[in-house]
Chains A and B, each alone.
Chain A
Amino acid sequence: MFKIIVPFPKDENINYYLEKVDGFILGLEEFSENFNRYVKINDLKKYCNLVTSKNKSMFIALNKQYFNNEIKKLKEILFLLNELNISGVMFIDLSVLNIINENNLSINPIWFSNHSSTNSYTINFLTNRNVKGTLLSDEITIEERLKIMDKINIDVFITLFGYINIATSSRTLLSNYFKYINKNKALNNNYYIKEKNSDDFYPIVENSNTNFFSHKILNGIKEFKKILAKKNNGYIVLNDYMIDSNLFYTVIESFNLVKENPTDNKLIEELYKKIDDISNNNTYDGFLNKKTIFRVKRL
């Protein structure tokens, strides 16, 4: 069975989301990145209790690479999370898994590497090391993902909507550039890069790291039905980062409709088009139906 989860919303929207989705991924101040909202550590318990009291899932995103000097506070937060009622912790950096395992913490570790989870062998390796769930890579096709799902037995997370984080630099690339050209960088984070011979604008966001995003919004609603047909348990991730709230409401409503009517191809087509229209034709299917290549010439 697949559930729908979204990033933890602003307070004024919580009630709406509690009705419409099955759970949340919470962005935690200092420990997470690429969220519209970051919850302070002091507010964590309150929100975890609220969500779990409604029988919804609450995952905490520890989705950063951590430098050595951040390990102490990472340990502290994991010990704190161990006392809370949460569904799991999403990690990229294996330090998180090691701290959980070494200290026998009762936290479900979810491997949330959106680029590396490309085969069942590595997922099974991590399953044998206590990992309870995995995000499948955004850069493999839906057919590859379905094939992997046949060979693993932990919860599967698949992103089907949102801008895709495509690279992270620990350099302050925007600040550096503005210093270089002697201009002030605006406080807002909405910048884009464009290659000269292309019409594609790629969002670039600088916080503690600089993150790059796909030029279009992933819209995998057509592929949702294929996932629903599988026997695995898991979660469909719908991501609202940098997404207009009206569009996101439509997305949630649409994915819920598909979940209820997974064989209604006409409806799915209509919903796909509706989402694309509201986004001003700014959606695409990413790598869901396109394989990457890596050999460009034979030597």
Chain B
Amino acid sequence: MKKVELLAPAGDLERLKWAIMYGADAVYIGGKNFSLRANAINFTNEEIKEAVKYAHNHNAKVYVTVNIIFHEDDVKGLKEYLVELKEIGVDGIISSDLFIIDLLKENNINLDFHLSTQACTLNKEAVKFYKKEGVKRVVLARECSKEDIKDIISSTKMETEIFIHGAMCTCYSGKCMLSNYFTNRDSNRGGCAQICRWNFSLFDENKNIIDGDRDFAISPKDLSLLRFIPDIIDIGVTSLKLEGRMKSIYYIATIVSVYRRAIDRYYKEKNNYVYNKNDEIELYRCANRENVAQYFDKKPGVDEQYYSEREEDTNQDFLGVVLSYDEDNKEIILEQRNFFKVNDIVNIFGPNKESFNITVTYIKNESNELVDAARHPKEIIRIPCYKKVDKYDLIRVNFFS
């Protein structure tokens, strides 16, 4: 049985490396053009080349999003770009505009076509259509339930990818023009202004406000299918996708490592697999919204969304990145990201290792002076640690009880 793929987002080369380091089997990235995150940093062609080299050296794959819905004049340069992606050796493109299928065929550009979730594929008949067209993989709509996914896979034998973690859209992907109408920013060409995170008021037919004191929001809670990893693997999903090309390295490292552990444990332990509640806490703490299963086990209702944007949290759990370990002095040299102080208990985690706690008994600044707290973001500091840590391990608030 082929092991399920863990697919992580990467907004730039740095995040791509973090995702792979922390256990992603594949990453998806966007180029400077034709990608739905038009306002992210994204990758130049040179960076895509470097990304593919790095990923392939680490046995990971790179998929490139070419997922805008094209206007007539946007097509210029697309063929040349696809040829270049082929020559670079990317492992596939993620698209939803169907003419690209013919463009690839007619020009003998041998690239795997993964149908983006923007195509809003909810059923087996649509999947059959894409399969006949030579589509290699379908990213199913986030509105699909477990039963839908199971039946689609068994009826079509198609490679499927599903989102298992991250922010959700309120409306059907690819069919939401809220951004266009509220802000003139084209959601299907990468300009989505996330109107579903805004606060509104609701009015009746006479335009009287329904509840003057309260907002009307349509903001969904985040998705997490961590609890359902065994079910998802058992029904034969090919790839498990994490959302968040614009998220931080801390977020990416955390969610990738949590899902990596859960997947690996399930393959190893199968019938003895036990859900680890601490994993859930880790996922919750690195996000600013609660996680729920959304459509996977039932149609979302009153508890799967927020009714005011003010309900979202912010957190400052991410304390620092390990730069190196000083074996002689038993000290971690780290780059600070958020405030912590002497006597705090912090948690350290990294690729392929169990996380552990230490008490910060002292902090030294760059001049090797003792200070009572780490106050300055990006400052290089030292803290004591008798257990060896590695470059790229991360330090966070200890939130485990």
A201 to B201, CA, bound (A): 10
Central interface residue in A74, A139, A144, A174, by most chain B CB within 10 Å: A139
Of A14-22, A43-51, A191-199, A220-228, which stretch is located at the interface?
A191-199
Binary interface encoding of chain A residues 135-171 relative to chain B, with 1 for a CB under 8 A from any of its CBs, else 0: 0001110001001100000000000000010111111
A98-B125, A214-B181 known; A118 and B203 CB under 8 Å? no
Please report whether the interface of chain B is mostly helix, strand, loop or mixed according to DSSP: loop
Q: Is the CB of B186 within 8 A of A69?
A: no
Chosen A-B contacts, 9 in total, with CB atoms closer than 8 Å, are: A65-B143, A68-B122, A119-B71, A119-B97, A167-B177, A181-B210, A204-B202, A292-B189, A294-B38
Q: Is the CB of A121 within 8 A of B211?
A: no
Tell me if A124 is interfacial: C-beta within 8 Å of chain B: yes
| CB-contact partner of A169 in B124, B172, B199, under 8 A | B172
Tell me if A257 is interfacial: C-beta within 8 Å of chain B: no
A148 to B184, CA, bound (A): 22
| CB-contact partner of A66 in B38, B123, B177, under 8 A | B123
A124 to B202, CA, bound (A): 42
The 5 closest A-B pairs by CB, nearest first: A294-B191, A95-B125, A190-B205, A121-B99, A292-B186
A191 to B203, CA, bound (A): 6
A148 to B72, CA, bound (A): 7
Tally chain B residues at the interface, Cβ within 8 Å: 77
A65-B172, A176-B301, A196-B200 known; A116 and B41 CB under 8 Å? no
Residues in A whose Cβ lies below 8 Å from that of B72: 118-120, 144, 147-148
Tell me if B182 is interfacial: C-beta within 8 Å of chain A: yes
Residue of B nearest to A294 (CB): B191
Q: Is the CB of A290 within 8 A of B202?
A: no
Binding site for A on B (CB under 8 A): 38-42, 68-72, 74-75, 97-99, 101-103, 119-126, 128-130, 141, 143-144, 147-148, 151-152, 170-172, 174-178, 180-182, 184-186, 188-191, 198-205, 207, 210-211, 214, 216, 218, 220, 295, 299-302, 304-305, 307
Residues in B whose Cβ lies below 8 Å from that of A115: 69, 174-175, 177, 188
Residues in B whose Cβ lies below 8 Å from that of A55: none
Tell me if A266 is interfacial: C-beta within 8 Å of chain B: no
A67 to B182, CA, bound (A): 29
Residue of A nearest to B178 (CB): A167
Residue of A nearest to B96 (CB): A116
Q: Is the CB of B123 within 8 A of A118?
A: no
**Across the A-B interface, how many residue pairs have beta carbons closer than 8 Å?**
226
Binary interface encoding of chain A residues 197-216 relative to chain B, with 1 for a CB under 8 A from any of its CBs, else 0: 00001101000000010110
A192 to B190, CA, bound (A): 27
Tell me if A39 is interfacial: C-beta within 8 Å of chain B: no
Residues in A whose Cβ lies below 8 Å from that of B203: 191-194, 201
A67-B143, A124-B99, A193-B202 known; A119 and B180 CB under 8 Å? no
Residues in A whose Cβ lies below 8 Å from that of B304: 171
A130 to B166, CA, bound (A): 38
Q: Is the CB of B71 within 8 A of A118?
A: yes
8 new A-B contacts at CB < 8 Å, known A94-B125, A176-B305:
A66-B123, A67-B144, A101-B129, A121-B75, A181-B211, A191-B203, A195-B199, A295-B39
Residues in A whose Cβ lies below 8 Å from that of B38: 294-295
A68-B144, A168-B172 known; A196 and B201 CB under 8 Å? yes
Residue of A nearest to B169 (CB): A169
Residues in A whose Cβ lies below 8 Å from that of B69: 115-116, 118
